[in-house]
């Protein structure tokens, strides 16, 4: 089964990327893998404070993928696979793609204005030709009708 890997965060463009991936998956009889990344926390001299910060970041990421799953199920009927990982975003994405041969594309949302996020910058720049799957960068300025038309 063809799977679209979508990285979600709290930015509105990730919702656009998720809708695009869901529409593509429905049309290609595929699936969606939703990934939320948690940045590793800087070392704090008080371990308890650092542990609390890390736990809160993990909880936010888990809530984010659960909300994305609810949206995906409501809009497309697809049951996504959900993953939350802590660490370096580009490395995690590369490792997930390498570990799952069903992943057919990486779908990222680009901000409607301003500079692109770190993953878009990385995979459209440094690693543009290194992945074994296409990278789909969905403009965050697209509305639902445009996404439906293009997907």
> pLDDT value at position 45?
63
Q: Which domains occur in the chain, in start order? A: 3-150 (3.40.50.620)
End-to-end alpha-carbon separation of the chain, Å?
18
Quote the percentage of the chain above a pLDDT of 70: 89
94 — pLDDT class (breaks 50, 70, 90) = very high
- Structure confidence by residue, pLDDT tens digits, 25-73: 999 999 999 998 888 766 656 656 666 666 776 777 777 778 877 877 8
Task: Supply the DSSP string of 116-139, one letter for each residue.
Answer: --HHHHIIIIITTTTSSS-EEEEE
Question: Quick one: DSSP state of residue 83?
Answer: E
């Amino acid at each position: 089964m063809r799977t679209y890997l979508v990285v979600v965060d709290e930015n509105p463009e990730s919702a656009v990327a998720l809708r695009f991936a869901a529409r593509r998956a429905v049309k290609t009889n595929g699936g969606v893998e939703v990934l939320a990344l948690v940045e590793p926390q800087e070392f704090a001299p008080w371990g308890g404070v650092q542990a609390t910060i890390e736990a809160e970041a993990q909880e936010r990421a888990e809530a984010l993928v659960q909300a994305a799953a609810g949206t995906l199920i409501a809009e497309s009927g697809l049951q996504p696979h959900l993953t939350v990982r802590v660490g370096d975003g580009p490395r995690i994405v590369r490792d997930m793609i390498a570990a799952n041969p069903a992943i057919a594309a990486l779908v990222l949302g680009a901000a409607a204005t301003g500079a692109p996020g770190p993953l878009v910058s990385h995979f459209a720049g440094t690693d543009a030709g290194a992945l074994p799957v296409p990278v789909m960068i969905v403009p965050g300025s697209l509305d639902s009708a445009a996404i439906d038309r293009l997907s």
